[in-house]
Amino acid sequence: MKLSEMKSGTHGTVKSLGRDERFLSRITSIGLTEEAPFQVVKNDRKMPVLVYVRETLLALNRKDCEKIEVAEVRA
C-alpha cells in the first residue's frame, strides 16, 4: 500500500522508497528509511501527510507519499 492511502492514527513500517536517487537522498536525510516504524498523524485530502517517525513530525507532500510503499501494523 502507498503511504498516501493510510488513514490518520494508523501505524506502519516503510517497505520501499522507490528508485529515484534524488528522492532517496532527500527522504532518507529527513529520517524516513526502509523498515522505519511510523504513525500517520493526519492524512486529509489535498493536504500534506503528517507522519511521526524517529521522534520527529514530518509533513510529506502527496506526490512523495505515492512513491513510498508501506505495510500497516495492527496494534
Residue keyed to cell 534524488: 22
pLDDT digits (tens, 9 = 90+) for 29-75: 998 999 999 999 999 988 999 999 999 999 999 999 999 999 999 86
In eight-state DSSP terms, residue 18 is -
* pLDDT (average), residues 12-40: 93
| Band of pLDDT at residue 13, cut at 50, 70 and 90 | very high
* CA dist., res. 31 & res. 14, Å (int): 11
Contact 18, 68 (CB under 8 A): yes
Q: What is the pLDDT of residue 18?
A: 84
DSSP-assigned letters across all residues of 41-63: EE--TTSPEEEEETTEEEEE-HH
Q: Which three cell numbers stand for residue 30?
A: 529527513
Domains and CATH numbers, the chain: 3-73 (2.30.30.90)
Q: Are 72 and 10 in contact (CB under 8 A)?
A: yes
Mean pLDDT value across residues 8-25: 93
